[in-house]
Structure 1
Amino acid sequence: MRPASVALVTATALTALVTLSGCGGTSQAADPAQPSARPFEGLPFTGVLIADGEHYCTASVIDSPKGNMLATAAHCVHFQGEDASEGYEPGPITGDIEFAPRFSGAGEGTFPYGKWKVSGVHVPTAWTEDDDDRGDYAFLTVEPDAQGRSVQEVVGAATPDWSSGPRRHVTVVGYPNESYNPGNRPITCTTDTRQDDDEPYMLQMRCGGFYDGTSGGPWLADHHDARRPGRLIGVLSGGDTDAESTAVLFDKGARELYERVARGTAKSA
């Protein structure tokens, strides 16, 4: 697998990447009957993607044989062909990407488990060739740390579920961008999902507070705590507002891509 990038990503390109793909959403009036996300201490295996010194999306460690894989949204790491109309070349973002598990704190923040260099970016052909939102997930590989440990050895991981139905009780975790979240604290919401009426391959949940930056965050079914994280059934893809979020439900295609990446036979984007 070739490295994910060569040159540094600019802040403008990062903003375009998440904006063009519709991640997060605009604010709307609070509905007293609807839950809202709350800040919390975070999960060891969930953190932020960082490029050009800024965090811009959420990712989590997914259980794998080599312990070196992350799950996030495809639009966090790869421009679609339709984005070319906005002046951006289709393909992976150009920049050194790092993963910072359990990142938190104002300003530069703190990195309790360090930063892990992304070495490979893998997105489905539905995303790269068909510009289809049903492919809005990605599996990344990261390099070992200086001691030779895998990221999973250090922070743990969530086990994927490839056969989930659309109605689940989930805990969703994300990192809103600093403009919405000056303390850079992770947020979480536990609620029920349903099938999206307009895009039946998508899960939908209603919970306030999932602004830009939360894209790629894990949807964990039957989550209890860090020791009992539940099952990863998808990652946050988008939503028209901060209070209505969607995720592509992991399926057979997602499993096939995951298995190729785990075997080391998948071509990096």
Structure 2
Amino acid sequence: MTSSRWSRSLAVAVAMAACGATVTMTTAQAAPKDGPEAAHYWTAERMAAAKPVEAKGARGGAGAGAAASKAVAAPKGTPKGTFGDGISMVGTFFSHSKVAGNTSCTGSVIHSAGHDLVLTAAHCARGMQQATDRIFVPQYRKGLDAAKQKFGAFPVQSVFIDKRWLKAADNKFGPESSLDFAFIRVGVNDRKAKIEDRTGSLRLTATPGPVNTVRVLGYPVGSSNPGQQAISCTVPTAQYKGWKQLQMLCGGYYGGVSGGPWIANWDAKRNTGDVIGIVGGYNGGGDRADDDWISYSPVFDGEIQNLYQAAVAGQDPADGLNTTPNPRPVLRESSGVWRHAKQLAAGDFGGQGRDDLLVAFDDGQVSLYPNDGNGGLGKDSTLKEENNPYWKGDKVRAIAGGPIGGGRAKLAVLWAGGKLSLFGDVGPSGLRKETMIGSYGEWKNARKIAITASGDLIVLWKDGELSLYSGVTATGKGKEKQLRPKNSEFAGADALAAGGFSGGSGTDLLVRLADGQLKAYPGTGRGGLGPARVVQGANASYTGTAMVLGGFTPGGGPDDLIVRWSDGETSRYDRPALSGLGDWSPLVS
């Protein structure tokens, strides 16, 4: 993981390759051994002596010289990784070249139709393009020849790297560092077995957002790990500020861990998990000070899916989906401010044909962020000043925007005292024309609200019952229809969002359950609750967040999802789908 993922000797080899590098495997000075015979070179002694691709300074282990002297102590409370046997689908790449010698890197087996793909970092994979005797050893054990390893050794056949990363003048510190991932196709071992059939596999999964809980594995080399065991650490992630990358803090991640998977939803009994990142990215996955306790990862989105599909098909990847792998945050406030953003609402409050974002902060301030029409949000207008006694703290239970009663979007506010208000005039000048829907107190057991595109009101009650009110006006709640009777699952739900993102007719209702799981109910409306679809599995990082669906990106089409995380970082998922939330970009870093 660290700043020095690269050795100076390997950099020379990389420079030689850069002139004519292709996305798939290039020809080395001597023809690589791609069959099972590639394992013959790798005796136990040669594997034990292999240097990490990024070997330099502190990444090499204790007492590493100048770079180590620049390293600083980890923040108090930073965990340290533990050494052990690792897991079957994570192991070590070994390769040999005349320039770099014998080198190693970490990789993980990813599920694919061919049962033959391994994920690693691009800066690991590029070295293999110019190497010979290239193998992958799952769950590597020191002291055994390659042929005698538990699962055997699998020869490298093809290398798939994003072209933009290969062509970038600065793919260590520039925006293309966010493309530091690669897929390696491996052949059968000497027992004629495909790798996934022997080891099992992990699921390649889009990074859900900046805040996750992951298990990070790798094989560090050096005096810090004389037994050359796998290091493991289960830690939370955060956004690497200013970059479309993640970071995690855990000590012991020295040279050799590059390409190691960041696994969410790890199930030890079933031996399954979701890979949402790898050790790589900025400076090869670590800071410039060469600290062993901080690691980075590229975000997994449409970019890596494009590369994955090319690897599955055995084709040259396209030039890429986006030209800016690191979009900058679009809102000026810090995460420290947005930590207090208690409620979010979306609606065409300005009458411009696009959704604006309205935010109620816990200090009583209410702000409106206008949609600039180009995928951004403009400077906010203060609708209610801070320390407003009516909007402060827990006085507001929920808010929702939508065309209740027709026309421009209005703001519905569910107050803790049991009142439901409708503000019919929302704009830079404030919140005006407040009326009360129903009698005071009758909404005291309501917990969350949402408004459909047709102006119907959806209400989640404390006992889990879900209701829809059609024909709502500024002074009346209309006709009630029960969408779901009381139940324990919805009783623990803590967020609702209504919009359209599945591509079908009607409203898509997104419900966040107590364990952070996101369930979608496409086609919800006056006909009833749509069929349940799991968009995001249980994820503790989603609990306690605020979320809203709205049309924030230009061009029309499906709604986008904005999520404010518990630490204040705020992200936008552009056009999520029932199959997953998809690409995300930072609004607040």
Instruction: Name which of structure 1's ranges 188-197 and 171-180 shifts more when overlaid on structure 2.
Output: 171-180
Which residue is 1:216 aligned to?
259
Separation in 2 of the partners of 1:5 and 1:219? 31
Which digits, 9 at most, give the CA deviation of each residue in 1:146-203, with x for residues without a partner? 343210000011001025212110000000014431111001000000110132x111
Superposed counterparts of 1:59-138, under 5 Å: 59-78=107-126, 92-105=129-142, 111-130=149-168, 131=171, 132-138=176-182
Contact 1:100–1:114 (CA under 8 A) maintained in structure 2:
yes
Separation in 1 of the partners of 2:79 and 2:312? 37
Contact 1:44–1:226 (CA under 8 A) maintained in structure 2:
no
User: For residues 174 and 64 of structure 1, do their structure 2 counterparts lie closer, same or farther at Cα, with a shift above 3 Å needed?
Assistant: same
Separation in 2 of the partners of 1:107 and 1:142? 21
Which residue is 1:156 aligned to?
200
Contact 1:59–1:217 (CA under 8 A) maintained in structure 2:
yes
Which residue is 1:84 aligned to?
none
Which residue is 2:85 aligned to?
41
Question: What amino acid maps onto 2:132 in structure 1?
Answer: G
Contact 1:4–1:120 (CA under 8 A) maintained in structure 2:
no
Which residue is 2:228 aligned to?
184
Separation in 2 of the partners of 1:226 and 1:144? 27
Gaps of 5+ in 2: 1-23, 33-46, 61-66, 318-589
Which of 286, 289, 292 is matched with 1:239 structurally? 286
Report deviation, 1:124. 0.7
Contact 1:120–1:141 (CA under 8 A) maintained in structure 2:
yes
User: For residues 102 and 6 of structure 1, do their structure 2 counterparts lie closer, same or farther at Cα, with a shift above 3 Å needed?
Assistant: farther
Which residue is 2:514 aligned to?
none
Which of 231, 237, 252 is matched with 2:302 structurally? 252
Query: Which runs of 4 or more aligned residues in structure 1 lie more than 4 Å from their structure 2 counterparts after TM superposition?
Result: 1-6, 14-17, 22-28, 106-110
Contact 2:52–2:255 (CA under 8 A) maintained in structure 1:
no
Which of 186, 200, 205 is matched with 2:248 structurally? 205
> When the two structures are superposed, what TM-score results if normalisation uses the length of structure 1?
0.83
**Is the partner of 1:65 in helix, strand or coil?**
coil
Separation in 2 of the partners of 1:226 and 1:4? 42
Question: What amino acid maps onto 1:171 in structure 2?
Answer: R
Separation in 1 of the partners of 2:181 and 2:156? 16
Separation in 1 of the partners of 2:116 and 2:269? 18
Question: What amino acid maps onto 2:138 in structure 1?
Answer: P
The number of residues matched between the two structures is 252
> When the two structures are superposed, what TM-score results if normalisation uses the length of structure 2?
0.39
Which residue is 2:186 aligned to?
142
Question: What amino acid maps onto 1:212 in structure 2?
Answer: G
**Is the partner of 2:272 in helix, strand or coil?**
coil
Separation in 2 of the partners of 1:65 and 1:258? 11
Max Rg structure: 2
Report deviation, 1:125. 1.7
Sequence identity, in percent?
A: 30
Separation in 1 of the partners of 2:216 and 2:271? 14
User: For residues 5 and 155 of structure 1, do their structure 2 counterparts lie closer, same or farther at Cα, with a shift above 3 Å needed?
Assistant: farther
Separation in 2 of the partners of 1:254 and 1:94? 24
User: For residues 123 and 23 of structure 1, do their structure 2 counterparts lie closer, same or farther at Cα, with a shift above 3 Å needed?
Assistant: farther
Instruction: Name which of structure 1's ranges 47-56 and 241-250 shifts more when overlaid on structure 2.
Output: 47-56
Separation in 1 of the partners of 2:269 and 2:219? 17
Contact 2:203–2:275 (CA under 8 A) maintained in structure 1:
yes
Separation in 2 of the partners of 1:218 and 1:203? 13
Contact 1:127–1:136 (CA under 8 A) maintained in structure 2:
yes
**Is the partner of 2:220 in helix, strand or coil?**
coil
Q: CA RMSD in A?
A: 3.0
Report deviation, 1:134. 1.1
**Is the partner of 1:78 in helix, strand or coil?**
helix
Report deviation, 1:55. 5.1
Gaps of 5+ in 1: 80-90
Establish whether residue 57 from structure 1 lines up as the match of residue 105 from structure 2.
yes
- Larger relative contact order (C-alpha < 8 A, sep ≥ 6)? 1
Question: What amino acid maps onto 1:99 in structure 2?
Answer: F
Report deviation, 1:105. 2.5
User: For residues 252 and 245 of structure 1, do their structure 2 counterparts lie closer, same or farther at Cα, with a shift above 3 Å needed?
Assistant: same
